Amino acid sequence: MCGGLAAMLLGLAATTMPSVATGAENPKVNVDFFRPSVHPGDFLNIRTSAMPDPFRVGGGFYLTYSNDPLTIYDRNRDRVLNAVTDQLVGDAFASISLWSFLDIGVDVPVVFMGKGNPPCAATGLERVDGAALGDVRLDMKGVILPSAKYGIGLALAEDVTFPTATAGNYAGDNGVTLTTRLVLDYMVRGWQFVANVGYRARFYETVFFRYQPGDIPGNSADPELLISAGLALPILCGKLDLLGTAEARTRAADPFADEFDTAVDIMGGARLRLGNFNLVAAGGGGVTRAYGSPEYRLTASVAYVPDVDKNCRVDTDGDGVLDDEDKCPTIPGPAVTWGCPDDDGDLVVGDEDFCPDKAGPASLHGCPDTDGDGIADINDLCPTVPGMAEFQGCPDTDKDGVSDLKDRCPKDRGPKELDGCPDRDGDGLVDIDDQCPEVPGPKENAGCPEGATKAVEMFKVRDKIFFVSGKSIIKRESFPMLNELAKSFNDHPELLKVRVEGHTDSLGNRVMNQKLSQNRAEAVRKYLIKQGVAAERLVAEGFADSKPIASNDTVKGRAINRRVEFTILEQR
């Protein structure tokens, strides 16, 4: 076997291998295909659309061990020689971002240890044993769309290798190589899915070591298509990631035609971030027999990485709305309400909803406005009656500048100093308290002139006339008081005219209340006339609920408002 192999190799060197010397020299072929990215935010040999801020510097060191990266097979595809059995490579790299879209870097690989089995002496090949400098690599990456910002990322990457390797250890190529990659990635919640599609151009021919049935025993390091995929899975987002990569390399001229021309390498590992320092450990190997695809590979690195957006978007409350979009990140809620609970269903949530148990519009911070006056009920002193903002939601029915809530006479205009009540006779006692509202008199005489004291006292008696509910029939229990009132009228001839006034509460139909109040006033007038009071001295008038003296919002207030009063109109 060794003789046949030697003959084939020597013949190949003499005819089709200009880069393989016939002396003790190995072909210049780089079998180290683990070429880690130098750019911040990338992982292992996968390029991403991550990019640091301008003028940020990064750098680090990879140490990689590969087992059996180069094996020679004969025409029968049987293993003949493990040309490289062990390879330990260190990659020192550095990078700088020039703009927010462009990062450049350099990688200097050094083979610290290369070992291989001894070839047949007749081949003229050297046994791999020792250290070597590899091909220096210049990397550039331009980002078109950063995935950390848009979710989907797009970038272009270019790396150039220069033939700086020392001969003998399969650590470098025979000339310059150019590798162009299109980068597509997607990031969500710190997860990163990446695809790289590339083309590696070589401007030289190097033929080496695989023997096929046919006329020319050998194969060359041709231009290649590169297809890579990567996954970064956050365990502790921004702190600890699991990494997975797969890379396929195949001849561009005849892709995927043969396992010796198609390499598939897979790796898995972890990345730990400690501030701006990244620690990576990974392992894997090749699944085909192509050159540069090892039985297994182990790598570890330490690097200083400037800040890049890690897209660490978490969902603390598990409601499917990410914390940076969740207005209530610790309380579950539907997406339609931005992750906040909405018990009242008004689509106003969180701190913006001042009334979380009652539905209301966003303009009122989620609070209801029962009376529709544009003032939320929680701020409305009269929540069931439309009003104005200047009166905290209460109306001013008589337009006297005193809100109905504070107006003792909400339907009769009056000055603020008199609580919104009129004082027609100008004696300082408002009409509703003045027994003689049209005749001035002192307050101590209930607004009536001097000499009318007994009559005044008589007219202070209120709410003592009882009627059958909803009717104008006077109950018998009120007869004694009315009889006394009739006697007082007759004892005071100076009272020329007195008005009997009927009042109701606000419940019920306004027209019916007006009729009821008029009928009750008439009933009292007729009763007094029967008791001897001259008819011309009495007039009756119903006011319905237009002159309340208490709130109609309470049972007690409504009872007070249902009354009969007497007002002195004329006296001598």
Read off the pLDDT of residues 362-406 as tens digits, 9 standing for 90 and up.
888 889 988 888 898 888 889 988 988 888 889 988 888 888 888
Query: Is it the case that residue 212 has pLDDT exceeding 70?
Result: no
Average of per-residue pLDDT across 84-104: 94
Identity at 162, one-letter amino acid code: F
Show the tokens assigned to 557. 């207030």
Alpha carbon separation from 313 to 188, 274, 322 (Å, rounded): 7, 19, 6
- The pLDDT > 90 percentage for the chain reads 35
Query: Is it the case that residue 222 has pLDDT exceeding 80?
Result: no
Tracing tokens 């797969």 back to the chain, one arrives at 246
Q: How many CB atoms lie within 10 A of CB 449?
A: 18
Show the tokens assigned to 413. 């205009």
For residue 93, the cross-strand partners are 60, 107
Task: Give the closest residue to 153 by CA, choosing from 52, 43, 49.
Answer: 49
| DSSP for 166-187, written as a single string | PTTSS-S-SS-EEEEEEEEEEE
Q: Which of 71-75, 152-156, 254-258, 440-444 shows the lowest mean pLDDT across its residues? A: 71-75
357 band by pLDDT with thresholds 50, 70 and 90: confident
| Confidence (pLDDT) at 207 | 53
pTM score over 0.75? no
Higher per-residue confidence, 312 vs 207: 312
Q: Each residue of 68-81: pLDDT tens digit?
A: 998 877 767 777 77
Average of per-residue pLDDT across 250-259: 84
Structural domain boundaries in the chain: 2-304, 318-356, 369-421, 461-571
Q: Which of 145-159, 210-224, 286-300, 414-428 shows the lowest mean pLDDT across its residues? A: 210-224
Tracing tokens 């019916």 back to the chain, one arrives at 512
Element (H, E) at 538: strand 538-542
| DSSP for 189-257, written as a single string | TTEEEEEEEEEEEESS--EESB--SSSS--EE---EEEEEEEEEEEEETTTEEEEEEEEEEEESSSTTS
SS3 letters across 437-489: CCCCCCHHHCCCCCCCHHHHHHHCCCCCCCECCCCCCECHHHHHHHHHHHHHH
Residues in the chain: 572
CATH class label, 461-571 = alpha beta
For all residues of the chain together, what is the average pLDDT? Answer: 84
Strand ranges (E), 102-190: 102-115, 129-133, 137-145, 152-161, 177-188
Task: Give the closest residue to 58 by CA, choosing from 23, 120, 109, 104.
Answer: 104
Q: Provide the CATH topology of domain 2-304.
A: Porin (2.40.160)
Q: Each residue of 463-485: pLDDT tens digit?
A: 478 898 889 999 999 898 899 88
454 band by pLDDT with thresholds 50, 70 and 90: very low
Q: Each residue of 296-355: pLDDT tens digit?
A: 999 999 999 998 766 666 677 888 777 777 888 888 888 888 888 888 888 888 778 888
